[in-house]
């Protein structure tokens, strides 16, 4: 299945693995990544697929709603993954 | 320690010993107490009976990290409530170093249109502050970026507090501006029109020269040092506050993307919770844009001495020269997303103009968005937004309308979607998508104010707990707890609100309590803090009640109850009883 993924904060630069080959310009915060995953994958599977450093990862959203890493993804889901952020 | 009273009617002053009842106060706790005790609640905010009070925090001026804040208080011409707005710069520690616990500006100039400056320096022979009044007319009506260098040239290494054209013109949107560490007129006690209160008195600048001043007294140095070390460790460890962490790298505008993702970034005058151009204006884009234009990475700087978080950014022009500091999240949103503008160069120019004219960026942006909705410009038209800003800075009839804030503009222009509470416009979090912050907006003694009870931490950022932003359940308690804690732990101690991002590290809170006990010689415990904060809130609330405010003023604008906000298509559904319970059960 395909999901749409956006990475923010420090995470955009942290992606590694084969997906990089599809984005020769590099990945920026908020760039839309189309990621192919096996059916029934969870957010944790997605994180592993992108080889994201888990220690830099703080908040995950699916379709604009906060979700935990065991959340099971569905085709077409929009995922946003953030390193710790704050401001005001 | 003294209370310095300045009378602008006859330009006299009095240096009073701090009364016993005020000895343990500072910052907002002190400004609000003095206003509660001395300002008639029914006075006109721009009349002779209002008072403008400046108070450094309890630990401001010491070596406590990230604590160089000043609280500015008065009855607000924007909200008609009590008001405290705070800012960081070199000015607050300079005032504290002269042992002035509060500077109270009273009375009113006798000659209309006349402006003065107040100069405070340390008189070593007398062992007390020296107070002088000097005419300031030659600086009136000018861009603050032009005026500040003249003052530095004239007075040398001083700290400047000031108003711009907006304050001189008595706009309800007008801030009190302080010089940052590079001398820019960029650090604002922006909210609530306090610049107009200063202007109404005929006071244009307060210039501080701290040379030879003795500094802040500390009752128990060992305890204080222990506290500041604890806090320093926490701030250096937490991911958001540590060096090269989120705030130091991306600045406060790092929130643009996450609020957008959560569907809570108000766009096009609060008509959507998502803005397509968000990634183009976010903190990450600022960092990358600077890197491209400068050819190297640029980390952020401190707005004030002793800040170890250092979140203040600088945006650069395509040729690598400085455009403006600082593009804060709130400014970036108000003048960007909320006006449909996704061009950082346009946003930077709008921020620069606010600094130049003495306007609060939040109120200015929400006003321009209302003007856009009324058809004065298209959403997204940055060029037109800049023109509208110049109208305010030139004092044209349209500019004077816009300069009186979002609600005034909405009334004049016939716009129903006026995103205000108690006359003050909402900042950068959509209450329909983040229910708890809406409770803070509705019930805060200050009008719509995010800093008064920043429930965004648990609702969005996963700091100090985690709750569902769309759910109204239990949020009255969360907002109440945050409002009470904030009133003391940051606003009264003098710490910047952003220390709250290290609160999940236990030593953060403990460190602050130790610092306060160290400075004051008190024995407060961590559990006392909420009580101390609640006492401050009760005084503010009492002032507001006597000024004629009732619980019907603790409501969000009606449109939020019937207009569904995309993408979650929620309305504001926190029941009125929950709103009333915030202060009902304080
Ligand atoms: S954290 Fe940012 S706003 Fe707060 S004192 Fe430091 S530089 Fe100023």
Spatial distance between the Cα atoms of B362 and B181, rounded to a whole number of angstroms: 23
Least confident of A13-17, B56-60, B340-344, B391-395: A13-17
Residue B392 has pLDDT above 90, yes or no: yes
pLDDT tens digit sequence for B408-426: 999 999 999 999 999 999 9
Q: For residue A17, name the pLDDT band (cuts at 50, 70, 90).
A: confident
**Length of chain A, in residues:** 88
Q: How far from B105 is each of B8, B52, B351, B373, B494, CA to CA, in Å?
A: 7, 5, 28, 39, 20
Instruction: List chain A residues with CB under 8 Å of B279.
Output: 28-31
Cα torsion angle, B298, B304, B305, B309, sign: negative
Residue to substitute in B27, B65, B66 for testing ligand 1 pocket (most ligand atoms within 8 angstroms of CB): B66
Judged by CB atoms closer than 8 Å, whether chains meet at A58 and B239 is answered as yes
Find residue B13's DSSP bridge partners.
B6
- In the CATH scheme, what is the code of domain A2-82? 3.10.20.30
C-alpha B178 to ligand 1 mean position (Å): 14
Residue B544 has pLDDT above 90, yes or no: yes
H or E element in which residue B359 lies: none
Q: Give SS3 for B344.
A: helix
Q: For residue A13, name the pLDDT band (cuts at 50, 70, 90).
A: confident
Note the pLDDT of residue B15: 98
pTM for the structure as a whole? 0.98
B498 touching A (Cβ < 8 Å): yes
Residue B538 has pLDDT above 90, yes or no: yes
**Length of chain B, in residues:** 586
Note the pLDDT of residue B529: 95
pLDDT tens digit sequence for B452-476: 999 999 999 999 999 999 999 999 9
Q: In this prediction, what percent of chain B has a pLDDT beyond 90?
A: 100
Spatial distance between the Cα atoms of B93 and B60, rounded to a whole number of angstroms: 6
Instruction: List chain B residues with CB under 8 Å of A62.
Output: none
pLDDT tens digit sequence for B40-73: 999 999 999 999 999 999 999 999 999 999 999 9
Q: How far is A12 from chain B (nearest CA, A)?
A: 10
Q: In this prediction, what percent of chain A has a pLDDT beyond 90?
A: 81
The answer to whether residues B61 and B100 touch, using CB atoms and an 8 Å cutoff, is: no
Q: For residue B213, name the pLDDT band (cuts at 50, 70, 90).
A: very high
Span B364-373, average pLDDT: 98
The answer to whether residues B435 and B471 touch, using CB atoms and an 8 Å cutoff, is: yes
Note the pLDDT of residue B209: 98
Spatial distance between the Cα atoms of B306 and B89, rounded to a whole number of angstroms: 10
Residue A24 has pLDDT above 90, yes or no: no
Judged by CB atoms closer than 8 Å, whether chains meet at A85 and B258 is answered as yes
C-alpha A20 to ligand 1 mean position (Å): 36
Span A47-63, average pLDDT: 95
Q: Whose CA is nearest to atom 4 of ligand 1?
A: B496
Spatial distance between the Cα atoms of B481 and B125, rounded to a whole number of angstroms: 48
Spatial distance between the Cα atoms of B195 and B206, rounded to a whole number of angstroms: 12
B452 alpha-carbon distance from chain centroid: 10
């Amino acid at each position: 299945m395909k999901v749409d993924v956006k990475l923010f904060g420090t995470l955009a630069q942290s992606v590694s693995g084969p997906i990089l080959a599809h984005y020769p310009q590099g990945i920026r915060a908020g760039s839309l990544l189309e990621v192919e995953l096996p059916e029934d994958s969870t957010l944790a599977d997605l994180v592993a697929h992108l080889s994201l450093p888990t220690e830099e990862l703080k908040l995950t959203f699916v379709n604009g709603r906060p979700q935990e890493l065991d959340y099971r993804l569905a085709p077409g889901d929009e995922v946003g993954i953030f390193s710790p952020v704050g401001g005001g | 320690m003294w209370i310095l009273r300045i009378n602008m009617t006859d330009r006299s002053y009095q240096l009073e010993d701090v009364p016993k009842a005020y000895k343990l106060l500072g910052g907002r706790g002190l400004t609000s107490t003095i206003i509660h005790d001395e300002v008639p609640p029914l006075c006109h905010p721009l009349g002779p009976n209002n008072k403008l009070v400046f108070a450094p925090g309890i630990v401001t001026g010491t070596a406590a990290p990230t604590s160089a804040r000043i609280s500015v208080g008065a009855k607000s011409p924007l909200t008609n409530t009590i008001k405290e707005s705070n800012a960081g710069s070199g000015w607050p520690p300079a005032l504290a170093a002269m042992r002035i616990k509060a500077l109270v500006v009273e009375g009113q100039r006798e000659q209309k249109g006349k402006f003065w400056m107040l100069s405070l320096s340390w008189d070593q022979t007398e062992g007390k502050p020296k107070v002088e009044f000097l005419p300031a007319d030659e600086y009136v009506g000018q861009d603050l970026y032009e005026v500040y260098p003249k003052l530095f040239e004239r007075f040398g290494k001083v700290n400047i507090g000031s108003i711009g054209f907006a304050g001189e013109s008595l706009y309800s949107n007008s801030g009190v501006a302080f010089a940052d560490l590079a001398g820019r007129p960029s650090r604002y006690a922006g909210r609530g029109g306090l610049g107009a209160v200063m202007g109404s008195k005929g006071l244009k600048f307060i210039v501080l020269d701290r040379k030879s001043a003795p500094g802040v007294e500390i009752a128990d140095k060992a305890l204080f040092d222990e506290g500041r070390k604890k806090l320093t460790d926490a701030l250096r460890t937490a991911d958001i506050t540590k060096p090269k962490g989120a705030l130091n790298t991306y600045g406060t505008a790092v929130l643009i993307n996450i609020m957008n993702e959560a569907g809570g970034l108000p766009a096009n005058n609060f008509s959507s919770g998502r803005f397509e151009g968000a990634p183009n204006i976010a903190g990450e884009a600022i960092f990358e844009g600077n890197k491209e234009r400068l050819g190297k990475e640029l980390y952020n700087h401190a707005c004030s001495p002793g800040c170890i978080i250092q979140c203040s950014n600088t945006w650069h022009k395509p040729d690598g020269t400085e455009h403006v500091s600082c593009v804060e999240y709130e400014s970036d949103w108000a003048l960007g997303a909320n006006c449909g503008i996704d061009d950082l160069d346009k946003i930077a120019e709008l921020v620069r103009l606010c600094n130049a004219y003495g306007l609060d960026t939040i109120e200015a942006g929400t006003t321009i968005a209302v003007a856009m909705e009324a058809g004065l410009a298209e959403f997204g038209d940055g060029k037109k937004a800049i023109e509208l800003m110049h109208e305010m800075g030139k004092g044209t009839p349209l500019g004077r309308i816009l300069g009186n804030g979002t609600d005034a503009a909405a009334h004049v222009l016939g716009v129903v979607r006026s995103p205000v509470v108690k006359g003050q416009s909402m900042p950068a979090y959509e209450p329909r998508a983040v229910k708890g912050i809406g409770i803070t907006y509705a019930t805060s003694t200050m009008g719509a104010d995010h800093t008064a009870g920043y429930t965004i931490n648990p609702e969005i950022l996963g700091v100090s707990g985690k709750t569902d932003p769309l759910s109204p359940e239990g949020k009255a308690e969360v907002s109440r707890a945050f409002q009470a804690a904030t009133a003391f732990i940051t606003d009264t101690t003098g710490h910047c609100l952003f220390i709250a991002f290290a609160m999940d590290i236990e030593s953060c809170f403990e460190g602050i309590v130790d610092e306060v006990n160290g400075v004051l010689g008190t024995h407060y415990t961590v559990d006392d803090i909420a009580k101390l904060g609640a006492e401050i809130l009760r005084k503010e609330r009492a002032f507001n009640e006597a000024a004629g405010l009732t619980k019907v003023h603790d409501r969000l604008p009606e449109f939020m109850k019937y207009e569904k906000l995309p993408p979650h298509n929620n309305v504001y559904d926190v029941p009125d009883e929950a709103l009333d319970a915030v202060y009902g059960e304080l």
